[in-house]
């Protein structure tokens, strides 16, 4: 017989060979799931809608009969997909109801070791919310700061490849943070971000230090939790200063503006009124010719850099390290020197 297991008990089993399987429909899985889960749905979106309609308009019995009819037809493929996954299977639906019970029952009958999460993914969401309220980042933190285009995210990614502990906030949000941050991306929703964030913070909790990028209260539509914002304010900030030509080149490479002209134009319309009219009008003219390098220089000089200067002034001299570098390669080496103690705070200005 399959075993029901509470989410708290399950998440304590770090060394067990558990594989999480979300048996909800693809659209539910896309909205939120437990990080690392596979999606093997009992019903697809259309089938779920059909069963739900029967439940509301006819009866519970009619919905159950139709659900079993739909599910039994796909059982061979369903079981095969589970058998292709290694380890002990942990299944869940929204509330720990019919879908996960049916999946766990048939898997057990086929000899597949199976667990079912009590209360479904709803209990996991409650657990995430409690973590966001109570979690602490006790490790020392270094916050990469600096103007737009200084390569902060790329620096983090390069350091991560070398084994340095980083928290990639923009990666968890799938958004680059600015009004242009969604170009070419599909941002995550708040629930997905919260789950991924808690997962990453837990993973990093025993590291001697962690690095992350300075963000405002929001990354796109994602709202950052108080514990992360508080940690940012209390930590050492490494300010990256890079020549404007290098910054423009980096933005061009990262954002691929030629591929996202309409999105870029639409995003600019959202901030146009915040830019001095002659400059805004010049940017609009340059957009017609797609002169992105000129546009970026204007945006950096008249929109982004004044905001960066204002932010930098918030931090005291004993809290910030200023790195004036000529390339992202140079910045990576300098940051490595700081966090490994080779340079320390001697770079304070």
Give the orientation angle of helix 277-289 with respect to helix 261-271, to 10 degrees. Answer: 170
CA 66/CA 59 separation, integer angstroms: 11
Which residues, 6+ apart, have CB-to-CB distance to 335 below 8 Å?
142, 144, 155, 159, 211, 238, 323
CA distance from start to end of the chain: 66
Burial of 180 (0-12, 13-18, 19+ CB in 10 A): buried
Which of 93, 242, 248, 296 does the annotation list as catalytic?
Answer: 93
| Contact predicate 83/106, CB 8 Å | no
Token pair in block for residue 190 = 């708040």
Other beta carbons within 10 Å of 26:
14
CA 219/CA 215 separation, integer angstroms: 7
Helix (H) or strand (E) holding 167: strand 166-167
Answer yes or no: 93 catalytic.
yes
Other beta carbons within 10 Å of 335:
25
Q: Which residues are marked as active site?
A: 93
């Amino acid at each position: 017989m399959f075993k029901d297991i509470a989410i708290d008990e399950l998440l304590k089993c770090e060394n067990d060979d558990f594989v999480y399987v979300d048996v909800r429909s693809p659209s539910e899985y896309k909205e939120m799931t437990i990080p690392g889960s596979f999606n093997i749905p009992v019903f697809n979106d259309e089938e779920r809608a059909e069963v739900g309609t029967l439940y509301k308009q006819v009866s519970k019995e009619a919905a159950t009969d139709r659900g079993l009819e739909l599910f039994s037809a796909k059982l061979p493929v369903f079981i095969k997909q589970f058998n292709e996954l290694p380890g002990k299977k942990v299944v869940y639906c929204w509330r720990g109801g019919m879908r996960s019970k049916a999946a766990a029952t048939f898997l057990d009958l086929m000899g597949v070791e199976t667990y079912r999460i009590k209360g479904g993914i709803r209990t996991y969401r409650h657990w995430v919310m409690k973590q966001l309220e109570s979690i602490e980042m006790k490790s020392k933190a270094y916050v990469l700061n600096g103007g737009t285009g200084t390569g902060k995210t790329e620096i983090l990614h390069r350091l991560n490849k070398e084994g340095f502990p980083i928290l990639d906030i923009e990666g968890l949000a799938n958004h680059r943070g600015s009004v242009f941050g969604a170009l070419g991306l599909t941002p995550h929703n708040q629930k997905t971000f919260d789950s991924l964030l808690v997962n990453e913070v837990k993973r990093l909790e025993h590291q001697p230090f962690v690095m992350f990028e300075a963000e405002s209260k929001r990354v796109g539509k994602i709202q950052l939790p108080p514990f992360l914002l508080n940690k940012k304010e209390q930590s050492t900030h490494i300010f990256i200063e890079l020549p404007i030509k290098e910054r423009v080149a980096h933005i061009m490479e990262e954002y691929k503006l030629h591929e996202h002209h309409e999105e870029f134009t639409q995003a600019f319309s959202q901030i146009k009124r915040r830019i001095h009219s002659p400059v805004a009008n010049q940017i609009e003219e340059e957009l017609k010719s797609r002169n992105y390098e000129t546009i970026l220089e204007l945006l950096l000089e008249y929109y982004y850099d004044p905001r960066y200067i204002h932010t930098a002034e918030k931090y005291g001299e004993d809290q910030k390290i200023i790195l004036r570098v000529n390339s992202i390669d140079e910045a990576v080496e300098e940051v490595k020197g700081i966090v490994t103690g080779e340079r320390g705070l001697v770079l304070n200005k």
